[in-house]
Structure 1
Amino acid sequence: MPKKGNRKRLKFKAGDVCSESVTVADYADADPALVKSGRLKKAVANAVEKEVQLLRGLEASQGAVEEVLSSAASANADALDSSDEPDPDEEGGGEVKVACKKKNKRRKESTENSIGEDYPVDIWLMLSSYIRPEDVCKFALICRHAWTVTCTAAFWTRLYRRHYRVDVELPCHLKPRSIDRMRCLRASVIRSLFHLYEPFSSRVSNIPALPESTPTTMLNSKCLLFWVKKVSGTRQEPLWEFYFKLMKPQGHSKNGCAKSLRSPKQYEDVHLNPDSDCYVLQVTTLNFIFIHVVMGMTLAQFKINVSTDMRHHRVRLLFQDSPLHRGKKRADLGGTQVVLDPVHSVKLMDWWHPQYPSLPHT
């Protein structure tokens, strides 16, 4: 084995090429102190390959040249893998590692900063004028500036004016003179789109009045408000509508992702929506039924079955003081029971539904 510091460089002339010119020993005897794992460095491998290229025209040594070329190519590939790695046996190897890490970090940061373009908010606000209502979420997910635009009052005001039609009858709280205010602007515009925008209004008509999963999803909902309204029936007989404003239980809200992103402080009033996690259960009966006050209580049971006259429905609601914890069975603690019979219709409405009552007296 050669001493440390001695570099072996393979040099030979064209007339000396034979099967013994380049052997395995030339690679095995390479100084491991110079190259990691005893491999030839990139410069030595390139020198071998360059000299072999000069010998490709010799016919007598064609077989030896091909052998040398294959050996040099494999050595060159190994050298490429190991040339940038510092030798742990050399002094200052730790410093080389730190320097390489810092260099790679700077290269990565420069690469990340060079990808894409940063456009001002004004351009995103201009582009938002061409966004369809159903694509607002996709537009807000493009970048932070696009999301900031969807938080502004100008975005929601333009969206409302773009789809407003005079021939459509709107509730008083959704008319243009009421949309001018900043408070709850986003919620008001979304509600108005279910009256003005055809794709949204047709979507509501396809929603069943009472989905099949309602009895399960309504459990543990808290009753925030309760009121009764008298309406005229089709046979000149009055009907009574019982409204239960319920708050969705934790874990069933669809606004979890939206809540994780807090809107800018100057636009908090725009995104304010007290009914964001609420829905209203409307039960229409043929006559007035006296029930106990259930505000502040939790819905523990909801059942719909056939009425005693076999022509209508019967609704049974059970309210309790405390909610049911997940994974535990509810003990029979009684509670307040509400029985509505006979029932003409049952409807469950989210806060954006066109028939969602905004105030108890409406």
Structure 2
Amino acid sequence: MPRKGGRKRLKFRSEELSPGRVTVADFANSDPAIVKSGRVKKAVANAIQKEVKALCGLEASQVPMEEGLTFAHENGELSESCDESDALESTCKISTFRKKKSKRSKDNTDRELGAQYPIDIWLVLASYIRPEDVGKFSLICKNAWTVSCTAVFWMRLYKRHYHRDVYLPLRLQPECIEVLYCLRARVIRSLYHMYEPFCSRISKNPAVPESTPSTLANSKCLLFWCRKIYRNGQEAVWEFNFKFKKQPPRYRNSCHNGLLYPPVQYKEVHSNPEQDCCLLQVTTLNFIWTPIVMGMTLAFFTINVSTDMRHHRVRLLFQDFPVLNGKKPRVEQGMQVVLDPVHSVRLLDWWHPQYPFFPKS
């Protein structure tokens, strides 16, 4: 039978609270009031502090008594046995400590910002940047990014790698490239003719990368045409061209600090009507009738083995609306284009040397 007086509270003695004599009863069967409030009694705190002083020596003995009592009360809560004066003193110490800590954090942030160099220094450093490191250079700071948007930066990059012996189309010659409109796009195209690392990158990459079906997903067909060409001067083949506008990456919608959008004064330099565009070239051995798919969205794209086991078979499925992620396109809701047999398939980005020229770009 339980006693009428209720549960008896445990009494703590300072001489019996050494770390060597801590029992399970001090934790499992402790006072529910203490467990609920989460506060430590003054007798327990004094006993623990004496043990710490004995172990640490003189340095621990210099610690004030109030700091040892308030170590478990970061939110300003004090023990039950402390009076109002001790509570006020401890709260004042906590507030002053927090103010000092905030001042130190502000000083550290000011030191981490570093020095800001004028834009002329970044313009001088830009003369030594390789074409493949332009993106890294523009991400250093805002002044470096501003320099990479100027027309002077792109003209210097063009003149640094220009050679008379290299063949360039007429639109990429020095006489025609000084126009501000689409200057950045024309310099990038010319680098794929003059700069050896970029030229070798095109030769090493496959005609159709493995990521082509995923990159062309939900791309809009802007233009479609076919033509008859003669290979090796004798054999005639048909070339089907599909110009797609790729879906822009998601990070462009949530631009960080506006770094993806150039300043207004350099908008003509960075303008490019062919941005995110690519050309899918499919060469067949004979003419194949195809429906009109301009303005439709590519929902499905596969390359398989042909029925004769010697060529390829290309299947394109177009729809009027993009397909949501995780859903499969339906054949009955779209327009299907099947090219079989196929001799070769190529994917050309807008900067590729064999990408067709459009007057507006």
- Is the shorter-chain TM-score for this pair beyond 0.5, marking a shared fold? yes
Report the number of matched residues.
Answer: 299
Structure 1 residue 113: Cα displacement: 2.5
Structure 1 residue 82: Cα displacement: 4.3
CA distance in 2, matches of 1:213, 1:228: 25
Q: 1:190 aligns with which of 188, 201, 222?
A: 188
- Corresponding residue for 1:325? 324
Give matches, 1:251-330, under 5 Å: 251=249, 261-330=260-329
CA distance in 2, matches of 1:306, 1:168: 39
Is 1:253–1:277's contact at 8 Å kept on the other side of the alignment? no
Normalization by structure 1: what TM-score?
0.71
* Deviation digits for residues 243-289 of structure 1 (CA, Å, limit 9, x no counterpart): 11112235588998787632212112222223222211011223333
- Corresponding residue for 2:21? none
CA distance in 2, matches of 1:203, 1:263: 27
- Corresponding residue for 1:47? none
Normalization by structure 2: what TM-score?
0.71
* Deviation digits for residues 210-256 of structure 1 (CA, Å, limit 9, x no counterpart): 12332343232221111223433214233332111112235588998
CA distance in 2, matches of 1:266, 1:330: 44
* Deviation digits for residues 17-63 of structure 1 (CA, Å, limit 9, x no counterpart): xxxxxxx9xxxxxxxxxxxx779xxxxxxxxxxxxxxxxxxxxxxxx
Is 1:279–1:350's contact at 8 Å kept on the other side of the alignment? yes
Is 2:221–2:296's contact at 8 Å kept on the other side of the alignment? yes
Moved more, 186-195 or 99-108: 99-108
- Corresponding residue for 2:18? none
Q: 2:173 aligns with which of 154, 172, 175?
A: 175
CA distance in 2, matches of 1:130, 1:316: 47
Q: Read off the aligned partner of 2:128 and give its amino acid letter.
A: Y
- Corresponding residue for 1:338? 337
1:177 alignment partner, SS class: coil
CA distance in 1, matches of 2:250, 2:67: 55
CA distance in 1, matches of 2:272, 2:326: 31
Give matches, 1:172-251, under 5 Å: 172-249=170-247, 251=249
CA distance in 2, matches of 1:222, 1:181: 30
Structure 2 CA distance for partners of 1:160 and 1:150, relative to 1, 3 Å: same
Structure 2 CA distance for partners of 1:264 and 1:157, relative to 1, 3 Å: same
CA distance in 2, matches of 1:139, 1:342: 47
- Corresponding residue for 1:109? 106
Q: Read off the aligned partner of 1:109 and give its amino acid letter.
A: K
- Corresponding residue for 2:135? 137
Question: Is the radius of gyration larger for structure 1 or structure 2?
Answer: 1
- Corresponding residue for 1:157? 155
Is 2:317–2:331's contact at 8 Å kept on the other side of the alignment? no
CA distance in 2, matches of 1:361, 1:154: 22
Q: Read off the aligned partner of 1:112 and give its amino acid letter.
A: T
Structure 1 residue 348: Cα displacement: 0.7
CA distance in 1, matches of 2:344, 2:102: 66
Moved more, 288-297 or 257-266: 257-266
Structure 2 CA distance for partners of 1:346 and 1:90, relative to 1, 3 Å: same
In structure 2, list runs of 5 or more residues that go unmatched: 1-14, 16-44, 48-52, 79-85
- Corresponding residue for 1:72? 58
Q: Read off the aligned partner of 1:201 and give its amino acid letter.
A: C
1:108 alignment partner, SS class: helix
- Corresponding residue for 1:33? none
- Corresponding residue for 1:11? none
RMSD: 3.6
- Corresponding residue for 2:12? none
Structure 1 residue 181: Cα displacement: 1.6
Structure 1 residue 360: Cα displacement: 8.8
Structure 1 residue 69: Cα displacement: 11
Q: Read off the aligned partner of 1:282 and give its amino acid letter.
A: Q
Percent identity, aligned pairs only, is: 54
Q: Read off the aligned partner of 1:166 and give its amino acid letter.
A: R
Structure 2 CA distance for partners of 1:265 and 1:96, relative to 1, 3 Å: farther
CA distance in 2, matches of 1:325, 1:291: 26
CA distance in 2, matches of 1:266, 1:95: 55
